[in-house]
A and B are shown apart, each in its own frame.
Chain A
Amino acid sequence: MKKRGYGIGSMWYGIGSTAATNPSGAFVDFLDDGTAIVMSGCADIGQGSTTVLAQIAAETLGVGLEDVVVITADTGMTPDSGPSSASRQTYISGNAVRLAAEKAREQVIAKAAEMLDLDPGEIRLRDGQVWYEEEPAGKTMIEVIAQCRGEGILTLGHGTFNPATTKLDPATGQGVPYATYAFATQIAEVEVDTETGIVEVKKIVAAHDVGAAVNPQNVEGQIEGGCSMGVGYALLEEVVVDGGEIKNPGLSSYLIPTALDMPEVFPMIVEAQEPSGPYGAKGVGEPALVPTAAAIANAVADALGIRLYDLPLTPERIVAAIKAAASSQHE
């Protein structure tokens, strides 16, 4: 018999290393033609951080995304931006890039204010133009940067950001381990075959508070990828170790989800703006996965009326749990 069930998994996740300094640095070189080079130590491992950093730099400098090149993760060229871990790069390196770009921008604004005899506090850079009170002020950014060069001013900026945390008391763990937290709720729908013990995850609704999505499609990609990893964690994956030896060191025996195992995922972006984040952003990389197995386990318990306490929820374990429940009813 196939039984359907639904389960909720909620989570919180502190952005950045726990109760530890974890700074990031960035350089921005605002060039003569209004394009820019960003240098960041942040390693893009497929999660899309280079794109996100380019967007933050372009936004801050008032130029197009195509006007920004980001050089990353080369200790000979880029400052230390810390690890691509702890869902920290958008928040921490994003802030470092934003601050570096602001420093470069300030110099252009200061020069524009001088050239146009305007209050620098009211000047904005946007679309390659200098803006004053919602209107182009009559100078292009290229003209202003050229003036800077003529006076021997390089429009460079550097930025560093270290999240505001404290150490934790070793006896009580009290303190401020993270500057901000991401939150999420996922709801899973499963179908459990009570004869075979096979669980099919049909749908996952995944609502994630990321602060603000710098790149919504990228956030959705992270959420979908996280759900796939969570399906594997909940149902399939286990490195079998016997006598200290891994018995399934290959992808023919260590099974991860394929496209056929994937549920329909409904990613939802919730934006509870983080004032200390770059343009309100927090992070999503790990949160995407964190509640998935929990939601699936709760859905399986809902379907069967029997709860399992050991991951993964393999067919063998599910069949055994159903049999154990049936025999305890007979007693």
Chain B
Amino acid sequence: MSETCVVGKSAPRVDGPAKVSGKSQYGADIDIPGALFLKVLRSKTPHGMVKRIDVAEALKIPGVVRVFTHADVPGENSYGIIVKDQPALTDQVRFRGDALALVAAETEEAAKQALEVIKVEIEELPPLYDVWSAMAEKAQAIHAKGNILTVSRVKKGDAAAALRTAAVVVSRRYTTQRVEHSYIETEAGVAYMDNGILVIKAGTQNPHYDRRDVSRVLGLPMHKVRIIQAATGGGFGGKLDISVQCFLGLAALKLGRPVRMVYDRRESIAATGKRHPFLVEYTSAADREGKLLAVKAKIIGDTGAYASYGPATLNRAAVHATGPYEVPNVDIEALCVYTNNPFSGAMRGFGTPQMAFAAESQMDLLAQELELTPLEIRRRNVLRPGSLTATGQRLDHSVGISATLEAAWEKAGRVMPGLGGEVK
């Protein structure tokens, strides 16, 4: 009776038949007769104050129903899962891609034409494109509280003392790049009013968060907003943020008509979050037997114009900076910094793939110094039941890192004949 019947079996996907037969309704597939098409005018200026938006010419185009700007946002014009710093339609530009105006039109063509003739006057501010100039003392603040958004620290033991006395110390500087999620489906959805309730159907990774911020931006009570996740073609963190939801909601609410919108690939890449580029200064120390004594790291992540999941990404990077190893002395500092670059947010791993690149390179460098194999140095340091993590958490159970190391090694020995029984 103890054996499970359904759990542990490779049951076919319940959503499989609809997806492989093309019947699943993704955001762009939902066809509502009479729906208006929405398009967003995005800033080509990286940093500045919006002085005037002239929509008169746009409204003359046949089929254009309405052009919305920041002045039309009925609630709090700011959203964000962690920091409410991103306007739905902005009067202050912080990156090339900020939303300035939203066009609703009878046809997609008319909406596109309208974008061409909206006149925007922006008083430009000097842009900050790298974390160093953004962190400089006299740097123009991109947001009111300054450009260093968060500093996460993990400190245990006495890393400085351990580094002074360790047999081997390795210091290196690593950089990682900005990455796009590249999900198959771009952002898309529809919205309509249903008996006084605003209904938004869109691809999303977090419908209940969407409800909170749509309700906030539109000034509606939460029970009058209903978010229904449309079939979603991948997310990888990129669909955790608000994208089309507030635009759809604003237009449907104000016009009382169904609306639809789809980002093309260019807009999807330009206007949504990226994986944070990291700069990591990493120092590791070990004794002669290859036991890790200390890890000291400084991590700087460029979160671009908006916080999105930046604070969570840098915090997770700090917490995971040592890799899956027991390290008695730890000194980690991770900074999340605003710039006028496209914003960075959640992406599969939240800062840990960046840190794995640095931490695992360091392990191999230490091994080299100590004339140990990469396998052996890992064997000597992996977390085990009873280990303390960098944050002082005792791991009591389900600590399978050693098992994965041995299983992978054993398998690699069989399927990679060139390995010769040992990684150099």
Contact = CB atoms under 8 A, between A and B. Distances in A.
A244 B342 contact: yes
A13 B397 contact: no
A285 B204 CA distance: 17
Contacts of A302: 423-424
Nearest to B383: A12
A216 to B, nearest CB: 5
B423 A209 contact: no
A213 B393 contact: no
Nearest to B382: A10
B398 A279 contact: no
Contacts of B361: 294, 297-298, 301, 307, 309
B404 A270 contact: yes
Give the interface residue-count category, chain A. Answer: 35 or more
Given A7-B364, A244-B129, A250-B269, A205 B408 contact: yes
Contacts of B275: 233
Nearest to B46: A244
Contact of B205 (A76, A83, A217): A83
A86 B350 contact: yes
Given A73-B228, A172-B155, A294-B356, A209 B401 contact: yes
Contact of B400 (A46, A272, A312): A272
A85 B378 contact: no
Contact of A10 (B203, B392, B401): B401
Contact of A174 (B11, B156, B237): B156
Interface string B197-219: 10100011111111100000000
A184 B274 CA distance: 25
Contacts of B95: 244
Interface stretch (B52-60, B177-185, B290-298): B177-185
Given A50-B14, A82-B206, A175-B393, A74 B228 contact: yes
Given A83-B205, A127-B5, A272-B399, A310 B174 contact: yes
- For A51, A226, A294, the residue with the greatest tally of chain B CB atoms inside 10 Å of its CB is A294
A126 interface: yes
Interface in A164-196: 168, 170-178, 180-181, 183-187, 189
B288 interface: no
B361 to A, nearest CB: 6
A274 interface: yes
Contacts of A143: none
Interface stretch (A29-37, A111-119, A144-152, A234-242): A234-242
Interface in A109-166: 124, 126-127, 131, 134
A172 B418 contact: no
A12 B403 CA distance: 13
Interface residues of B, number: 121
Interface in B224-278: 225-229, 232-237, 239-240, 265-266, 269-270, 274-275
Contacts of A213: 8
B404 A233 contact: no
Interface stretch (B69-77, B101-109, B131-139, B318-326): B318-326
B275 to A, nearest CB: 8
B14 A9 contact: no
Interface string B71-105: 00000000001000000000000011100000000
B348 A7 contact: no
A321 interface: no
Contacts of B61: none
B352 interface: yes
Interface in B1-25: 1, 4-15
Contact of A241 (B154, B266, B342): B342
Interface string A218-240: 10000000100110110001110
Given A172-B155, A290-B349, A291-B360, A51 B11 contact: yes
Contacts of A124: 1
Interface string A242-255: 01111001110010
B313 to A, nearest CB: 10
Contact of B229 (A43, A207, A229): A43
B393 A56 contact: no
B415 interface: yes
Contacts of B226: 74-76
B408 A206 contact: yes
B7 A85 contact: no
B11 A55 contact: yes
A76 B66 CA distance: 29
Given A43-B206, A126-B1, 11 more contacts: A8-B360, A11-B324, A11-B356, A13-B352, A82-B206, A82-B208, A172-B155, A187-B411, A216-B10, A237-B179, A268-B407
28 contacts: A7-B374, A10-B378, A14-B320, A44-B232, A59-B6, A85-B206, A86-B350, A171-B155, A173-B153, A174-B391, A174-B392, A180-B398, A183-B401, A209-B403, A214-B8, A229-B236, A232-B179, A238-B178, A239-B177, A243-B46, A249-B266, A268-B404, A268-B407, A279-B7, A298-B364, A309-B172, A310-B174, A310-B177
